[in-house]
Amino acid sequence: MEVMRSAAARAAAGADVVHLEVGQPGTRAPSGVITAAHRALDDDVLGYTVALGDDTLRHSIAGHYRDWYDVSVDADRIVVTQGSSGAFVLTFLAAFAPGSRVAIPAPGYAAYRNMLVALDIEPVIIEVGAGAEYVLTPDHLASAGHLDGAIIASPNNPTGTMLDEDQLMDLASWCDHNGVTLVSDEIYHGITFGNRAHTAIDLPGQPIVVNSFSKYFSMTGWRLGWVILPADLLTPVERLAQNLTIAPPTLAQIAARAAFDCHDELRRNVALYEEHRSQLLSALTDLGFLQLAPADGAFYVWSDVSHLTDDSQVLCRTWLDELGVATTPGLDFDPNHGHRFIRFSYAGTTRDITEAIDRIATWLDVQR
Ligand SMILES: Cc1ncc(COP(=O)(O)O)c(C=O)c1O
């Protein structure tokens, strides 16, 4: 966010900044969603919905599990939230007591750690970097001491790496046998470039599944997500939601019902990400960035930059100041090793990617 702020400030001052720092689609919501929103603005009172979310939307989300994953999910177990961020806060509050220990992978999404700390829950950082081929295994969890919970994300932010079906099953079974609540962050599902992502919803132990309209559905600022909960957490989450937020945004909920009919348009976004991804991966490799995490999904490339710097924050700052190329330093994603890494996002425009590659190539030439 700090990098985004600096990049935006430089752009506002007239600099030509290209954006490889963004963690959100550069595309609008699909047209069916926008039409539904216009209609709701004209026709609907737009009062509160119930705290668990609009019933029609909850059924549409259940339908999505049937269509995409061939899994039957009871709509009653689905809670609509303010982005997946809202889902995490509600879930952590309901599922974990203060002082609980919850495993999170590093590199991983920084907000898990920050939310857990804010709620007096101990984040147990599990190193799942290049040495572990970016794959969290039951052995990692077993060696972490007592755990109450574990969070996984596949595809992962910042690495883009994915867990295959067997790896997911192994983790879910281990958590089930060891009384550990598994939370599966599936926010990047739909943005994958080889195998499709598997949901944890039908795996042993009733994992908690979190998802969002922010990435594949291209509705980031509409602030809508969902969580699928085991039955015993529904009432606690409903009460928390009633008190913390009353309800998710009504306009976004009504519009989002249409999102599940917009796959043709959304698939075109994914096709564009795929083009950007191959362009960026091949250019980075040509430029000597040889240690890249497998970018199976999401819209990120996680690159070791230790051949250029021992402080990626300084490198990102230099690139922003000297080249107008915004990238994200790795420290937030990995407190121990992130100083050697940068996250490149290819969610922006084709020009962002092409220009960034040209400018970095020229900069590297001058350094040599
Ligand atoms: C892995 C991951 N989970 C959750 C989120 C939160 O997204 P939102 O609250 O918009 O659903 C993000 C945002 O970038 C993310 O990368």
Q: What is the pLDDT of residues 274-318, one digit of tens each?
A: 999 999 999 999 999 989 999 999 999 999 999 999 999 999 999
Cα separation, 233 vs 177, in Å, equals: 19
**Which H, E and C letters describe 30-79, residue by residue?**
CHHHHHHHHHHHHHCCCCCCCCCCCHHHHHHHHHHHHHHHCCCCCHHHEE
Q: Please give the Cα distance from 313 to 102 (Å, whole number).
A: 28
- Protein residue with its CA nearest to atom 16 in ligand 1: 157
Query: From ligand 1's centre to the CA of 290, what distance in Å?
Result: 27
Q: Which domain holds residue 37?
A: 31-261
Give residue 9's pLDDT: 86
Model confidence over 32-75: pLDDT tens digits? 999 999 999 999 999 999 999 999 999 999 999 999 999 999 99
Domain shared by 9 and 136, yes or no: no
Show which of 261, 292, 316 is a domain's final residue.
Answer: 261
Q: Is the CB of 84 inside a 6 Å radius of any atom of ligand 1?
A: yes
Asked if residue 284 and residue 217 are part of one domain, the reply reads no
Rounded to the nearest whole angstrom, what is the distance from the C-alpha of residue 187 to the centroid of ligand 1? 7
Together in a domain, 90 and 214 = yes
Considering its fold, how many domains does the chain have in total?
2
25 within domain boundaries: no
Q: Which pLDDT band, with edges at 50, 70 and 90, does 8 fall under? A: confident
Which amino acid does the sequence have at 54? D
- Averaged over 79-92, what is the pLDDT? 98
- pLDDT given at position 145: 96
Predicted local confidence at residue 209, as pLDDT? 98
- Assess whether 305 and 213 both reside in one domain: no
214 Cβ inside 6 Å of ligand 1 = yes
Interval 155-210: pLDDT, tens: 999 999 999 999 999 999 999 999 999 999 999 999 999 899 999 999 999 999 99
Pocket lining: 107 vs ligand 1, CB cutoff 6 Å? no
How far apart are the CA of 119 and the centre of ligand 1, in A? Answer: 18
Between the CA of 223 and the centroid of ligand 1 the distance, in Å, is 10
* Average pLDDT for the chain: 96
The residue assigned the tokens 């992962």 is: 156
The answer on pLDDT for 122 being more than 80 is yes
Mutate to test the pocket of ligand 1, among 4, 21, 84 (most ligand atoms within 8 A of CB): 84
